[in-house]
Amino acid sequence: MPSIPLVARETGIPCALHWRHYTCYCSYSTVTDSMCRQDSATHLSAEEKIAAEESLSTYCKPVELYNILQRRAVRNPSFLQRCLQYKIQAKHKRRIQMAISVPATVNDESQVQNVFPLCVILARPVSNAAGAEANSDVYQFRRACISTSFTGVDGINRVQAKFFLPEMDKLSAETRAGSLVILFVSFAELARDHLDTFSFPLHLEGHFLLGRMPIELLHLLWEKSPNLSLGERAEMLSTVDLSPCFMKTNCLDKDIHISLQYPCSSVALATIQQLQVKIAAEEAGAGEKSTYDSFSYDDISMTSLPRIIRLRTGNVVFNYRYYNNKLQRTEVTEDFTCPLCLVKCASFKGLRYHLCSSHDLFNFEFWVNEEYQAVNVSVRTDMGRSEIVANGVDPKQQTFFFCRALLQKRQFFHSHRAQPMALEQVLSDRDSEDEVDDDVADLEDRRMLDDFVDVTKDEKQMMHLWNSFVRKQRVLADGHIPWACEAFSKLHGEEFARAPALLWYWRLFMTKLWNHGLIEARGINNCNLILEQFQSQDNDSTRS
């Protein structure tokens, strides 16, 4: 993001406000190309310069918002960047497609025909293999290509062994680790025994001719080749020496392991056959190049050409327009990086998807030609409008935007009593699922007790008083019963003193609790003392 000043300043002064962690110096220059230029502000008056700086400052709030979202995404990302489809597609397009063939034009067909069927394998060496000897190697692979003969148009075999290699950077790491090798295995002995040679045998044991080609040589040539960097096809011829060895294969899960044992004598190790193979390589997405990739590099030396191409590929020019699109400031990012959140989008197509979906507070225009991949950026003015009434305009006729407050459009109800909830109750922290309405609960309790036909009216009243007390005081455990009985006696002692029938049922209920071991005799005695105090007070009041 270019510098965003808050006040008017002269050209070349460091940024007063910048969303990156480093200081940026911006200067104006006149460039004829409209895709990458910074308009000169020397022809503007002082008032126009101030207005232009204020127009540029409209980038501040959107950038600040995206900074906040970026910091939140670091701790809690909403999605994984590597799972984006355009990143996966861009990664696959950068892979190298390798094709290996045995052309008849450079081989003596009468001498080389006896090596067919020929199996080409892209394998990985297995380190520390169990039972491996000093003169043996173990490899693993998943796919093998078998070529049966030279037959084809113009004597060239149309059946090629094709493999996909990782992109150049990852291939360099695997090359340094020595984790890839190309194996050439002659299955001529199997053909003499009339065995199936159209597919690789999963369980095989015997003597065969073997040739090896390390991937390091191919990688060195591809890295220096300008054709591969330009998206073109790179071809080379190489000689493969075939020597005898003892081979044994076995299948483990999805991988096939191949064990090779070489003869100990140097005479047996001598080369029996030499084979000329043709190796062609190109990027998987070479056929989908844009206009930007057709740039001419005629004036660049061949030694520095691959490095220049890699540096230029991901460069994107961002033009930040302001002051009614009369002025703009320019920034260049590398590796298809978004200047707002620093996300690497892997391709210009991915950058377009990312900008339009993640930064909708800006307008974007995308341009591609042989010299530039450019994006014109401007702040969206239709996202929010000022509601200040202009002079001479009737406020009643003024158009404005209104957004209804959240949760006011829907009607919410209490979960237990099914009554409408007020807005204050909806917005409060109290959970309506845990609420218990006392009036509704008492009504339901009385309705339940009324269904009992063999219970007296006074007994129903005493049961209702106890159920209501237990519910309100949350008497949940057996250990709560002693203090609950004393509290219940204090709460309804005056009522029991005036109604002897209720008092009798309460004492009967305490006896049942004692019978179940929920209350001791001392607890019953304390309750009776409390009830006697209420009875004496009631007698004194009646006498007076």
pLDDT at 82: 72
Mean pLDDT of 416-440: 72
pLDDT at 291: 67
**How far, CA to CA in Å, does 43 sit from each of 39, 187, 232?**
10, 80, 48
pLDDT band of 331, cuts 50, 70, 90: very high
Residues 453-483: tens digit of each pLDDT: 888 989 999 999 999 999 888 888 899 999 9
pLDDT band of 41, cuts 50, 70, 90: low
pLDDT at 156: 47
Does residue 10 register a pLDDT over 50?
no
DSSP H/E element including 67: helix 60-75
pLDDT band of 228, cuts 50, 70, 90: low
What mean pLDDT, rounded, does the chain reach? 77
pLDDT at 196: 54
Residues 104-118: tens digit of each pLDDT: 777 776 666 778 888
Higher pLDDT, 243 or 267: 243
Bridge partner list, 276: 239
pLDDT at 178: 78
Most confident region among 5-9, 41-45, 95-99, 373-377 by mean pLDDT: 373-377
Most confident region among 19-23, 153-157, 175-179, 488-492 by mean pLDDT: 488-492
Query: Range with the lowest mean pLDDT among 10-19, 67-76, 170-179, 349-358?
Result: 10-19
pLDDT at 160: 77
pLDDT at 399: 66
Distance of alpha carbon 124 from the chain centroid: 30
Q: What angle do CA 388, 392, 395 make, to 5 degrees?
A: 50
pLDDT at 74: 83
Residue 358 buriedness (CB in 10 A; 0-12 / 13-18 / 19+): middle
Which conformational region is residue 392 in: left (phi greater than 0), alpha (psi within -120 to 50 degrees), or beta? Answer: left
Q: Is 40 within 8 Å of 27 (Cβ atoms)?
A: no
What are the extents of the domains in the chain? 94-284, 407-436, 438-543
Mean pLDDT of 248-269: 77
What is the C-alpha separation between 410 and 412, in angstroms, rounded? 6
Most confident region among 30-44, 166-180, 325-339, 419-433 by mean pLDDT: 325-339
pLDDT at 3: 53
Structure letter (DSSP) for residue 118: E
Q: Is 117 within 8 Å of 146 (Cβ atoms)?
A: yes
pLDDT at 504: 94
Mean pLDDT of 152-159: 48
Under 8 Å CB-to-CB from 67, ≥6 apart: which residues?
Answer: 19
pLDDT at 495: 92
pLDDT at 19: 38
Q: Is 136 within 8 Å of 259 (Cβ atoms)?
A: yes
pLDDT at 25: 32
What is the C-alpha separation between 343 and 371, in angstroms, rounded? 23
What is the C-alpha separation between 428 and 407, in angstroms, rounded? 12
Q: What is the 3-state secondary structure (H, E, C) of 323-373?
A: CCCCEEEEEEECCCECCCCCCECCCHHHHHHHHHHHCCCEEEEEEECCCCE
pLDDT at 538: 85
Of 133, 149, 88, 355, the closest CA to residue 264 belongs to: 133
pLDDT at 440: 73
Does residue 347 register a pLDDT over 70?
yes
Q: Is 82 within 8 Å of 90 (Cβ atoms)?
A: no
Mean pLDDT of 130-158: 67
pLDDT at 392: 64
Structure letter (DSSP) for residue 198: S
pLDDT at 214: 86
pLDDT at 273: 80
pLDDT band of 16, cuts 50, 70, 90: very low
Asked if the bond preceding 500 is cis, omega within 30° of 0, the reply is no
pLDDT at 330: 92
The pTM score is 0.49
pLDDT at 172: 82
What is the C-alpha separation between 50 and 48, in angstroms, rounded? 5
Query: Range with the lowest mean pLDDT among 43-47, 124-128, 132-136?
Result: 132-136
Does residue 407 register a pLDDT over 80?
no
**How far, CA to CA in Å, does 122 sit from each of 118, 173, 201?**
13, 17, 16
Q: What percent of the chain is modeled with pLDDT above 70? A: 71
pLDDT at 517: 92
Of 406, 402, 391, 468, the closest CA to residue 437 belongs to: 468
Higher pLDDT, 35 or 132: 132
pLDDT at 218: 84
pLDDT at 23: 28
Beta strands 373-379; 316-322: pairing state: parallel
pLDDT at 59: 93
Q: How many residues belong to the chain?
A: 544
Query: Range with the lowest mean pLDDT among 229-243, 320-334, 354-368?
Result: 229-243
Residues 349-382: tens digit of each pLDDT: 889 999 999 999 999 999 898 888 999 999 998 7
Q: Is 141 within 8 Å of 121 (Cβ atoms)?
A: yes
pLDDT at 29: 35
pLDDT at 11: 31
| 530: its two tokens | 């409390």
pLDDT band of 405, cuts 50, 70, 90: low
Most confident region among 243-252, 289-298, 325-334 by mean pLDDT: 325-334
